[in-house]
Amino acid sequence: MERIGVIGSGTWGTAVAALLCANGHAVTLWSAIPEEIERIGRTRRHDNLPGVELPDALVCTAELSEAMQEKDLLVMAVPSVFVRSTAGRMRPFCREGQRIVDLAKGIEEDTLFTMSRILEEELPGARIAVLSGPSHAEEVSRGLPTTCVVGAHKKETAEYIQSIFMSPVFRVYTSPDMLGIEVGAALKNVVALAAGIADGLGYGDNTKAALITRGIAEIARLGVAMGGKIQTFSGLSGIGDLIVTCASMHSRNRRAGILIGKGASMEEAMKEVQMVVEGVYSAKAAEKLAKKYNVPMPIVEQVNAVLFEGKPAKEAVGDLMLRDKRIENSDLPWE
């Protein structure tokens, strides 16, 4: 039995806390909002995980020191926009060599840092890993079979976290490509917004399949240019996570996109979804990265135009369809 602190009591953090409790570990769940964590502890329920009863063994606290001290593993589960500020609060309680696995998916807009790089900067001396894949909290909390990948610099760190999370309903693979995992995890949210916008416009399965296929091509181009490995983007944190985020109504990014496609503004859509829509925050960062690495990302470009420049969604789709003629894969030779 390992002692684990989960930092962040959103749906994903709470679902993971329940999973780790079921795996036999001693788990403490922390929230920055005292009223929220008190309610979770008292009712053994999370408002956004209906029908799910949390284990009695799960300890809930609003004290960050209690969630962190004497823990074998910390799970970083706050939204990406709060990773840096939360890590700053964690610094006084973070011991040398502390293992931390990050669940947040995003790119910091100002620095263009991945979440692991932020944690390495804010918590020097910690051993950082990332966990990602097609894993909606609503399904994990109900014990539905799910598969993810954990990435770390050191094999032993990845294998340790793999052993902590593995269960009959939660299978974990390992990978040394942390960067590729994080790029796939962050940018799929932007493509999911596009998929939702297409749904809101009333387009069909053909459109969705095109966005997923061309979306992973964009993500992979950028990821490889940044130093990620091409194999990662055909795996769980690449095409796997992209499929589930573009196709499921559990996806807050797709739901926000649907509302935008129906005419809502970005601000109205985020308010309606009532949870952090990571793709909105990652869209600008993705466009900046595309320019920095000179990588064409037309879907990302059009999503930004719709979100931040007031471009009509239908016009954005039209511009995607009427781009210059291209070859699908320039690496393939002709006869």
**Distance between CA 70 and CA 5 in Å, rounded?**
9
- Cα–Cα distance list, 284 to 5, 211, 268, 321 (Å): 32, 19, 18, 22
Q: Where are the domains of the chain?
A: 3-176, 179-321
**Distance between CA 140 and CA 197 in Å, rounded?**
26
Are the C-beta atoms of residues 201 and 261 closer than 8 Å to each other?
A: yes
Radius of gyration of the chain (CA): 20
Tokens 């297409």 belong to which residue? 198
Q: What is the crossing angle of helices 298-309 and 313-321, to 10°?
A: 160
- Cα–Cα distance list, 255 to 77, 250, 268 (Å): 21, 8, 12
**Ramachandran area for residue 171 (φ above 0: left; ψ -120 to 50: alpha; else beta):** beta
Q: Is 51 buried (19+), middle (13-18) or exposed (0-12) by CB count in 10 A? A: exposed
Residues marked active site are found at: 188
* CATH class of residue range 179-321: mainly alpha
- pLDDT value for 141: 95
* CATH class of residue range 3-176: alpha beta
Structure tokens at 323: 């781009």
Q: Write the single-letter amino acid at 247.
A: A
CA proximity to 270, closest of 313, 227, 322, 307: 307
**H-state helical runs in 100-204:** 115-122, 137-140, 155-165, 178-200
CA proximity to 64, closest of 36, 87, 46, 96: 87
Contacts of 325 (CB under 8 A, 6+ apart): none
**Distance between CA 258 and CA 207 in Å, rounded?**
14
Ordered per-residue pLDDT tens for the chain, 335 residues: 899 999 999 999 999 999 999 999 999 999 999 999 999 999 999 999 999 999 999 999 999 999 999 999 999 999 999 999 999 999 999 999 999 999 999 999 899 999 999 999 999 999 999 999 999 999 999 999 999 999 999 999 999 999 999 999 999 999 999 999 999 999 999 999 999 999 999 999 999 999 999 999 999 999 999 999 999 999 999 999 999 999 988 888 898 899 999 988 878 887 887 766 777 888 999 999 999 999 999 999 999 999 899 899 889 888 887 777 778 887 888 88
**Distance between CA 165 and CA 131 in Å, rounded?**
10
**Distance between CA 272 and CA 255 in Å, rounded?**
9
SS3 132: strand
**Distance between CA 230 and CA 243 in Å, rounded?**
17
Q: State the pTM of this model.
A: 0.92
- pLDDT value for 275: 67
Q: Is 313 buried (19+), middle (13-18) or exposed (0-12) by CB count in 10 A? A: buried
Q: Is 70 buried (19+), middle (13-18) or exposed (0-12) by CB count in 10 A? A: exposed
